[in-house]
Amino acid sequence: MIPGLRPQPLTMQLDWRLNAQFAGLCVAQARNYYQRQGLTVTLNPAPPDLDVVQTVVSQPHTLGCAEESLILAAQSRGVEVVAIAAMLQASPLSLMSLPNGGLHDLSQLIGKRIGVHSDGQKALELVLSLHNIAPARVNTIEIPYQNKYQRLIDGEFDAVQCYALDEPIRFAQRIGQAPVLLTFSDYGFDAYSQVIFAPVQLVHEQPEVIHRFLTATFAGWRWAINHPSSTAQLLIDRYVEPDYQDMTYQVESLKMIATYMQCDRQRLGVLDQTRWQRSAQQLAQAGLIDAMPDTSVDLNLWP
């Protein structure tokens, strides 16, 4: 605990259930890294279909994490949030299809039924546009997370959106074979993922508090990356729901996450203003966001 500091409460609104993709935050909480920074942090898992940006701006002392495209879309509508760090330096957003007769190339999506979630729709449309495929030529249907594996197995969809960090591991455990992946980053989707963001007002009023939060969070991530087995056991013992309590799954997911966090040997969590603006320009040119945001990244808080 930093001497002289009164404990500062913060809520971190996640965009999914507690799992390996939030391991650094769980470690920071469990190993008292937040406490040492004078913080009391609540990790708030998300129910399916939560609007994480609106939830964050409607609650006091709350930060959140979301896909870059969702934050840019909100900013373009005038929602006053700002990106402050990125847990993942590349996006794991992907499409997953069955191993037999799977989709191996973007052009094979034409005429197919593709199940997507709200956070992936804009990303997929952008990827298609970058490869001169009109999004209207692909039959995309917004679906909830529930039962999507079975809907894919039953042939209702030719592919479904997935997060390459963990969902292919679970799916392979279920059917005994690895699915075929089309990863958006392989097709020009150069975006950050699990972007930590905050309301502009909170950033203006409590920049030091947010810096301390980020310091503890990425210390947690460094420990998690260097101790995957111990971290997996911590997640199973204290954090994840029963259907995630599989040691092999958690360890494999953590190893995959480490590759996404340490792309190009970047310091953990860094955001690049030029890269962020380039992503915004791509989305705006494709008509996927209403306008270019005025202020979208704050580089003064981290590192």
What was the pLDDT predicted at 265?
A: 62
pLDDT tens for residues 223-248? 999 999 999 999 999 999 998 999 99
Write down the pLDDT at residue 1: 62
Mean pLDDT for 138-144 is: 96
Calpha distance 194→178 (Å, rounded): 24
> How far is Cα 298 from Cα 272, in angstroms, rounded to an integer?
10
How far apart (Å, rounded) are the C-alpha atoms in residues 247 and 14? 22
Residue 155: its pLDDT value, please?
A: 96
Residues 6+ away with beta carbon under 8 Å from 60? none
| pLDDT, averaged across the chain | 93
Minimum mean pLDDT range among 185-194, 265-274, 286-295? 286-295
Q: How many CA atoms lie within 13 A of 211 on its CB side?
A: 11
pLDDT at position 3 over 70: no
* DSSP calls for 58-93: TSTTEEEEE-HHHHHHHHHTT--EEEEEEEESS--E
Bigger pLDDT: 92 vs 48: 92
Distance CA 81, CA 195 (A): 12
Q: Give the CA distances from residue 248 to residues 60, 210, 236, in Å, rounded to whole numbers and listed in that order.
A: 38, 34, 11
Cα separation of 172 and 45, whole Å?
A: 25
Residue closest to 138 by CA, chosen among 151, 155, 121, 154: 121
In the prediction, which pLDDT does 108 show?
Answer: 97
pLDDT tens digits along 169-188: 999 999 999 999 999 999 99
pLDDT tens-digit readout, 98-125: 999 889 999 999 999 999 998 888 889 9
Q: What is the pLDDT of residue 101?
A: 80
- Average pLDDT value for residue range 35-42: 97
Q: In which band, very low, low, confident or very high, does the pLDDT at 6 lie, cut at 50, 70 and 90?
A: confident
Q: What is the layout of strands, in order, in the sheet containing 139-142?
A: 139-142, 113-116, 159-163, 93-97, 180-183
**Distance (Å, whole) CA 239 – CA 27:** 10
N-to-C CA span, the chain: 21
Type of residue at 15: D
* Model pLDDT, residue 283: 85
**Structure tokens belonging to residue 140:** 């995309």
pLDDT for res 2: 64
pLDDT score of 38 more than 80: yes
d(CA 186, CA 164): 12
Instruction: Please report the pLDDT score of residue 5 as a whole number.
Output: 65
- Per-residue tokens: 245: 């309590």
pLDDT tens-place string over residues 74-95: 999 999 999 999 999 999 999 9
Supply the DSSP symbol for 113.
Answer: E
Region of residue 94 (phi > 0: left; psi between -120 and 50: alpha; otherwise: beta)? beta
